[in-house]
Amino acid sequence: MEIKKVAIIGGGTMGSQIAMQVAISGFTTRCYSRSEKTVNAAKDFADGWFKKSVSKGKMTEEDANAALYKIEYTTDLAAAVKDADLVIEAVADVLDVKKKVLTEIDKLTPEHTIFASNSSYIVSSKFSDAVSHPEKVLNLHFFNPALVMKLVEVVKGPHCSEETISDMLKFTYNINRIPALVNKEIYGFIVNRIYSAITKEACYMYDQGVASYEDIDNAVKYGLSHPMGPFELLDMTGIDLEYDVLTEKYQMTGDLSDKPSPTIVEHYAKGEYGRKSKKGFYQY
């Protein structure tokens, strides 16, 4: 199937940047949020980002205007998805939320629409029954910041057709991204399983007083040559996201080792989510 029109559900940090990258690549794009405030913030970010890109010589004014022309921001879900070939869901990483959103969208979209979830951890077989064509449901996992990070994990569940995977691999290349095909569902996919193991150990050492978060970050950066330390990365991706993901995992497994660490819980309770709130482990 040829993808021409794409709807992004969720206008937060990830959703808005995915929408921009899709529009830059020439696709007709609609970015939806039920919140007018979120929609306006996404539009303002896009306007500012394109202006800055032009001023720095990274884009021509013509290309920037063309991309902006391709994006429509809306609080009207039906208008956003009515003729979409592909819907990319970028809502909260909570299973019940995803199911509710997809069930609603399924009633508003054409028969051929592909449903892709940007979930960081939750495999699509958990919510594929929310739509009438589960063979068209998969995970299409972008990384933050989506305008910079090249990798997209394309995850095939047992319900997903080879045709859908083929279409999404082609689409990923067409938006100038590199796909990593995950042939078998596994919690956290590739990157986040490795990232979670590092983060879990970093939080454990900090909670136990083994080392400060600054020294743990420095050890990982200068000892392992990572571009960012685990606590810096938590601040960038969002401590609230880490809390939600681990809480969801614990509810699914019942394994105490899957619960968020005390330091994650403390920052979450204080509303210290990282860069988005100007304070996390570090001050911004």
Walk me through the domains of the chain, giving residue ranges and CATH numbers: 5-182 (3.40.50.720), 193-277 (1.10.1040.10)
Which residues are known catalytic residues?
Answer: 120, 141, 153, 192
Whole-number Å distance between alpha carbons of 13 and 276? 9
pLDDT average per 10 residues of sequence, the chain (284 residues): 96 96 98 97 97 97 97 98 97 91 97 96 94 98 95 98 98 98 94 93 97 98 96 95 90 91 97 96 97
What pLDDT is attached to residue 38?
Answer: 97
Single-letter amino acid code for the residue at 149: M
The whole-number pLDDT of residue 93 equals 82
Do residues 20 and 27 make contact, with C-beta atoms less than 8 angstroms apart? no
At residue 156, the pLDDT reads 98
CB atoms within 10 A of CB 160: 23
The per-residue pLDDT for 165 is: 98
pLDDT attached to residue 123: 94
